[in-house]
Structures are given as C-alpha cells and as structure tokens.
Amino acid sequence: MMLPGFPDAAPLAGLAGGVLIGLAAAVMLLGLGRIAGVSGLAAKAVGLGGSGIARSGAWMFVIGLPLGALIVMLASGGIEVSFASPVTLAIAGLVVGIGTRLGSGCTSGHGVCGVSRLSGRSIVATLTFMATGIATVAIMNALGLEVL
C-alpha cells in the first residue's frame, strides 16, 4: 500500500512491524513484569548497569534481536539498508551510548513502553530526542553533510 504524497513510505509494513514490537514489549511486561528497553537490557547484558533483570535474561533478549531480524531477512529474501561510514557510526554509537544511559532509556523504553504508559518522564524524553534528532538531521543537511 502506498501513502498518498509519500511514495517511499511503507505504512503497512511499518504498522505490522510496530505491532510486533508492541507484542514483544507486552511479552516482557506481562511475562516478566519488566520494561523492554533495549539500551537498559544491552547495558545489563555486558555488565554496565541497566535493567534489573537477570543477566542471562538480558543476554537472551539481546541475542533475540538479530535472530528476529534474520527471520525477516530470510523470509523476505533480503533487506535493503544503507549505513554511514565507520567513523560516523563510531561517533554516533558513542553519543547514543552516553545519552541513553544518562537519559535512562531510548526509543523502546521511553518511546514505546513509557509513552504508552503515559509516563511524564518518558513523554518528555521522547519529545526531547525526537526534537534533537530532527534538528541534527536538519543541521547536517544544511551543512551538506551526507552520511548515508
């Protein structure tokens, strides 16, 4: 299905993907009583604080992420992606790592779990990282910095 005015958008695939992500977070919430926040679970897995879940559980979740992507990749015959250069990726990763630990979460913990719970902290965090993300792309575009 195409979205009028946005020929590149994939609204149905996006919605289906979103529902799967919601189900994933619901399994974590209703099954184990915890927030499916990727940054917190990744930090826990490698022993850098984060979620209160057992470390083995954090590892299982983190390992599940590429496994799930692999299933979609095999079922769909490949996923097209374009990534930034190694230096750009390293810098971005560093900033994301620092920011998510200081801000206690990322797109999953704040954006999905917290916003759906109507948590004030998560709504503020989500609006903030959306705003700085939009500003970052706008500034980079204005400077002619093409990273992908």
CA dihedral 39, 43, 46, 49 (to 10 degrees): -170
Distance, in Å, from the CA atom of 92 to the CA atom of 86, rounded to the nearest integer, reads: 10
Kindly state the number of chain residues that form the binding site for another protein, as judged by CB under 8 A: 116
8 Å CB contact between 22 and 14: no
Q: How far is the CB of 123 from another protein (least distance, A)?
A: 10
Q: Does 2 bind another protein (CB under 8 A)?
A: no
Site map (CB under 8 A) of another protein, residues 89-128, x = contact? xxxxxxxxxxxxxxxx-xxx-xxxxxxxx-xxx--xxx-x
Q: Which helix (DSSP H) or strand (DSSP E) does residue 102 occupy?
A: helix 86-102
Q: Does 1 bind another protein (CB under 8 A)?
A: no
- Choose, by CB under 8 A, the member of 39, 77, 143, 144 that binds another protein: 39
